[in-house]
Amino acid sequence: MSARYVIIGMGVAGIAAVEGIRKVDPLGEITVVGDDPHGFYSRPGLAYLLTGEVEGEHLFAYPPHELHKLNARFLRGRVSRILPAECTVALTSGETLAYDRLLIATGARALKLDTAGSDLAGVVKLDDFDDARAILAGAKKSRSAVVVGGGITALELAEGLAARRVKVHYLLRGDRYWGNVLDEAESRIVERRLQHDGVAIHFHSQLAEIIGRKGRVAGVRLADGTSIRCDMVASAIGIAPRLDLARACGLKLDRGILTDEFLETSLPGIFAAGDVAEIMDPETGRRVLDSLWDSAREQGFAAGMNMAGKRVRYLKAVPFNVTRLAGLTTTIIGMVGGGRDEDVIGIVRGDSESWRQAPEATMAQTGFDVNHVRLMVGRDRLLGGIVMGDQGLSRPLEALIRERVDITPIRARLLEPGAPIAEIITSYRADLAAGAASAAASD
């Protein structure tokens, strides 16, 4: 009899798991259950829907005929219980599915504000396609909005609403944007661009209450007593893995579902991947959440292969996140926010050096008014980097960081004041590649 696979969650981890299973087992019966009425789409793309840069249909990167080729059953529904003793899952529809291998890929949900007034009409978050639609509908009727939250999604909300000609008031608790990741110069670059687009940034501001009139948002009151009139409040204050199913069936949890290096949970035959899973970070030796699109895809694929019987070890990769901060393409690689370790030295270069012609510039874009790079240099390797604007350096840097390449031969030169770091890095990469090629030729 062919194996039966059930996957809970039709996000990128769930879909990649189907691909992983099919790589190993072309015949097994696969059922994917997802409760999002829109099926599978790009959640990072929701930000571009808000700004109007893409249409909704462009977010559905997997056309129906491609999904069909995977030869799986895609079921719109909600799983209400996992029954490990019987190897079944129950759906709210009453249907029951039997499995030999189960994957939990239920993702994470956006946290909601719990301030007084947060249930008023006009209080929104950006978690899924329906949220994006609700924001767009709300923006049409709104003159001003307050945005709350310190990370990328909050920024996307601010940009999206500003692009829809809504006056945006962006509340930041501290004295700068995303201070635990960006350095001060980088925060100021982002803030200046937002302000240029008409966003009013309120530093040291904390939401105390959302004021309503006739059940709708009419304004906010801040902790210092000041008030701002607005028609919408948009928040992005963090995410929480969806753990209810895993908790109810007795899986071991921490902040997410604990998995081993094969992405199997504490119950044999049940796997977890994506935003819901905690995975091993070889850098720290601890299990961590890794809530990124590419990580969810890679985990889903590896989990799928493991479910089908091929043993594939998955360890957390060096983070590599390409995003946009106030319209500025930004790649964040590895460790960038630290600086506590004395052996780590940060070096920064701006427009005085051009890295536009860097080889391997797979994402090269020109025409940015700002170009900026920051490297975190460890004792004998690069630990992280931020590339803002022109992306010519991001792939060479990623390779050096991810492959933990020994940079001892170039470290002193990199740290010289005003050193042309792009040139040093790209020529070092070229030397290494040439060395590897001649070694291979002489074998």
Ligand X SMILES: Cc1cc2nc3c(=O)[nH]c(=O)nc-3n(C[C@H](O)[C@H](O)[C@H](O)COP(=O)(O)OP(=O)(O)OC[C@H]3O[C@@H](n4cnc5c(N)ncnc54)[C@H](O)[C@@H]3O)c2cc1C
Query: Which residues, 42 to 71, sit near ligand X by CB under 6 A?
Result: 43-44, 46-47
Angle between helices 408-415 and 421-442 (to 10 degrees): 170
Q: Which is nearer to ligand X, 115 or 323 (CB)?
A: 323
Q: Which is nearer to ligand X, 14 or 392 (CB)?
A: 14
* 146 forms part of the interface with ligand X (CB under 6 A): no
Beta carbon of residue 124, minimum distance to ligand X (angstroms, whole number): 12
Q: Which is nearer to ligand X, 395 or 429 (CB)?
A: 395
- 292, 302, 388, 400: which one contacts ligand X (CB under 6 A)? 292
Beta carbon of residue 152, minimum distance to ligand X (angstroms, whole number): 6
Query: Which residues, 72 to 91, sit near ligand X by CB under 6 A?
Result: 78-79
Query: Which residues, 21 to 40, sit near ligand X by CB under 6 A?
Result: 33-36
* 14 forms part of the interface with ligand X (CB under 6 A): yes
Window contacting ligand X (CB under 6 A); options: 7-15, 179-187, 337-345, 402-410: 7-15
Rounded distance between C-alpha atoms, residue 296 and residue 93, angstroms: 28
* 384 forms part of the interface with ligand X (CB under 6 A): no
Q: What are phi and psi of 193, to 5 degrees?
A: -65, -40
Q: Which is nearer to ligand X, 14 or 219 (CB)?
A: 14
**What Å distances lie between residue 24 and 10, 31, 99, CA to CA?**
20, 16, 17
Rounded distance between C-alpha atoms, residue 101 and residue 189, angstroms: 48
- 6, 11, 161, 233: which one contacts ligand X (CB under 6 A)? 11
Q: Give the pairing of strands 257-258 and 277-281.
A: parallel
**Count of chain residues binding ligand X (CB under 6 A):** 35
Beta carbon of residue 300, minimum distance to ligand X (angstroms, whole number): 7
Window contacting ligand X (CB under 6 A); options: 105-113, 194-202, 406-414, 416-424: 105-113
Window contacting ligand X (CB under 6 A); options: 64-72, 102-110, 160-168, 176-184: 102-110
- 321, 350, 404, 432: which one contacts ligand X (CB under 6 A)? 321
- 31, 106, 205, 235: which one contacts ligand X (CB under 6 A)? 106
Q: How many Cβ atoms from other residues are within 10 Å of residue 65's Cβ? A: 7
Beta carbon of residue 309, minimum distance to ligand X (angstroms, whole number): 22
* 127 forms part of the interface with ligand X (CB under 6 A): yes
Q: Which is nearer to ligand X, 50 or 230 (CB)?
A: 50
User: How far is residue 301 CA from its own chain's centroid?
Assistant: 17
What residues line the site for ligand X (CB under 6 A)?
8-14, 33-36, 43-44, 46-47, 78-79, 105-108, 126-127, 153, 242, 245, 274-275, 291-294, 296, 321, 323
